[in-house]
Chains A and B, each alone.
Chain A
Amino acid sequence: MIKVWVLLFGLAGCASTPSPAPAPRPDEPTTLNRASIIQGNLAGLNLSLTPFSHLGGSISPVRAELLAAERRYLPYLLKTTLTESGFWGAVRVTPGVDVTAELNCQGQLLAASAAVLELQLICRDALGKLWLDDRFDTRIARDAYRQSAVDGPDPYQGIMIRIANRLADGLALLTDQDRRRLRDAALLRYAQTLSPEGFDGYLAVNAEGRMQVQGLPAASDPMVARVRRIRDSEYQFIDAMDEQYRLIYQQMNMPYRLWRQYQYEFEDYNTSLGDRSAGAQRRAVASYEVMLATYKRYQDYKRNEDELSEMAQSLVRALSPTLGQVEGQVVELTGNLEQQYELWRSYLLRLYQAESSPRAPE
C-alpha cells in the first residue's frame, strides 16, 4: 500500500529566495489619481514598459515556466492602470527598451505568489533622469480573489495603482517647458540610434552627469523629417507588439487569477488540516465527497497551471510571422516577439541608412 504523506506546503509560490524584509501588510485601499480635463488635454508623454525581469535562484521548472508568463502579464496590468489614469500619452509594453518613449520603466519581480507580490521598479526619462527606483510590495487580502473572480480588478491592482500615483506625482512636477524638452530629447535620442554622426552634438552630458539638449536641428531639416517618418513606422510596429502583449494579458487573465485563488485556498486548507488531529483527518478521508472535492480542486489548479504553462511555452516559440509595410516595401518578420522587434529595428536602421546614402539603394 502506498504510504501517504502530506508535506510542507506554501513553498512553491515564491519567485525568488525570500527577502529578509518584514512581510508586507495588506494594502490600504488605494484610489487611482486621474487626470483632470485640463491635465488630460496636455500632450502627454509616452511611457514604455518592458517585460519584468526576475531574480534567479532555485525554483522548479514549472514555476520558471509560469514566471515567463507573469513577467509579461504584470507590466501590461500596470499599463492598463497608467492608461486609465489619463496622465500619459501612449503607454506601451515593448519587448526591449523603447528609444522613442519619453519615459521608460523596467521592473524586477522579486516575489510573486497568491498572497504576496514584491517588485522593484526603475523609471528613467529620455534625458536619463531617474524618476523612480523603488521597491513595491503588497500582501493580498484573503477574500481578494473571491471578489475579483468574475469581473473585478486583479488582486495585484493595488500595487499598480500605487506605482501609477507615484509616476503621476513625478509628472505633476514638470513644467510645459520640461515636457517639451523631454519630447525633443526623445526624438534626438531616437535620431542618434539611426545616425550617431548626423545628430552628434545635440545632446550632451553636463557637469552633474545629466543629459541636456544643446540645440535642435531646423524644423525643415530633411534628416529630421526622415527620422520622424521612420519613427512613425516604429510606432506602428511597437503598437503591433503591444497588441500581442494585450492578447497575452487577456488570455492569461482568468486562468492566472484562478490559479492564484486555488493556491491561496489550498494554503488555507492545508493550515486547517494541520490543525486537526490525525483521527479527524482519517474520518475526513473516508468521505468520498471530501476526497473528490480535494482532487477536483487540485485538478482545477493544475489545469490552470497547464494553461499558463502552455501560454508561457508559446511565448518563447516563434509567433506567426508579422507583415509590415514601410515606404512601399513589405517586410516579413519571423521569430518570437523579442526577435521580431530586433529584426524590425535593424530593418528600419538599414532603411534610414539606405535613404541617407548618396547612392540609390540596390
Chain B
Amino acid sequence: MARLMSFSLSACLLLLGLLPSLLRANDAPEFSEFLGHWEVDFAASEAPNDKLRYLYDVTLSDHQRRLASGQNRIGETPFQAIDDLRGLVNLGRLGEQITRTAVLNVRMQGNTLYVDRDDNFSLRCEVGGIAEEAENLGYSRCRMNDRALVFWLGLPGGFGIEHRLILSERGDRLSIATTVAADGVSQAFSVSRVYQPFEPVTEGIQCQYTLGKGKVCTLNGGFND
C-alpha cells in the first residue's frame, strides 16, 4: 500500500513537473496576439555588422583548422573556401540591408495578416488559407511554427530569406530573426531585431466630399465652414 501511495505521489509530481511544458505546447500565440504597432528596441537588437564580423572570424578559423589538419571536405580547395567566405560576407551585407525596419504595423484585413514595414514591402500571411504562394517572381510561404510566425521567400537566382517572428511570453516584445541563405554558400546569415509596442498619434483630420466644393478636410473633425 505504501509503495502504491509512493508510486501515485511520484506520478502526480511527474505530471505537475510536466504541466508547464504541456500547457506551453498548447499555448502557441494566435495571429491576433501579434497585432499592433511596434518600434525597434536598439538595445535589445543585434548589430548586423558585429554579427557578420563574428561569423566571418569563426568560419575563417574553421576553414584554416580543417585545411591545416587535412580535414577539408572532399574536393574543397583554398579558393573555394575563399569563395565561401566571400559569399557569407555578401549574405551579411544583404542581411544588413533588409533588416533596417524601425517601425512595424501588424494588422488583420479579412483573413490576411499584414506586417507593414516602414522601409519595405508588407509581409502577408493567410489565416487558414493558402500557406504557400507561387508568384511569378519567386516563391513565398508563411506558417505558424510552434511559437513563431515564419515568412519565407525564395527569389530567382537561388537565394532565400526567412523572417521568423517570435512573441515574448508576456507579449511585450516581438523578435524578428532574419536569415539569408544562398546556394553555394555553406552557411546562412542570421540577425535578430527586437521590437516593443507603441501607440501611434492619430492625425484627427476628417474629410467630406461636397458636390459643390469637392473634398473639404478639417482638423479635429469640425465642419464649421
Contacts and interface: CB of A to CB of B under 8 A. Distances in A.
Interface of A: 1-13, 60-62, 236-237, 240, 243-244, 262-263, 266-267, 269-270, 273, 278, 281-282, 284-288, 290-292, 294-295, 298-299, 301-303, 305-306, 309, 313, 319-325
Nearest to A283: B184
Given A306-B122, A321-B208, A4 B159 contact: yes
A9 B136 contact: yes
A7 B206 CA distance: 46
Contacts of A306: 116, 121-122
Listed residue (A237, A286, A313, A325) with the most chain B CB atoms within 10 angstroms of its CB: A286
19 contacts: A2-B160, A4-B183, A6-B158, A9-B134, A9-B156, A11-B135, A12-B134, A13-B136, A62-B133, A281-B183, A282-B183, A285-B185, A286-B83, A291-B90, A292-B94, A299-B121, A306-B121, A322-B208, A322-B211
A6 B181 contact: no
B157 to A, nearest CB: 5
Contacts of A244: 209
A285 B136 contact: no
A287 B208 contact: no
B155 interface: yes
B134 to A, nearest CB: 5
A9 B187 CA distance: 27
A4 B112 CA distance: 25
Contact of B135 (A5, A9, A294): A9
Interface of B: 83, 86-87, 89-90, 93-94, 97-98, 109-112, 116, 120-122, 124, 126, 129-130, 133-139, 152-162, 179, 181-188, 206-212, 214-215
| Main SS at interface, chain A | helix
Contact of B90 (A263, A281, A286, A323): A286
B122 A291 contact: no
Given A61-B126, A237-B211, A269 B156 contact: yes
A13 B136 CA distance: 7
Contacts of B97: 292, 295
A299 to B, nearest CB: 6
Contacts of A282: 158, 183-184
Contacts of B133: 12, 60, 62
Contacts of B182: 4, 285-286, 291
Given A2-B188, A292-B97, A313-B109, A273 B136 contact: no
Given A1-B187, A6-B139, 20 more contacts: A4-B154, A5-B154, A6-B138, A8-B134, A9-B156, A10-B136, A11-B135, A12-B136, A60-B130, A61-B126, A243-B214, A267-B136, A285-B159, A287-B90, A292-B93, A292-B97, A305-B121, A323-B208, A323-B209, A323-B210
A313 B155 CA distance: 27
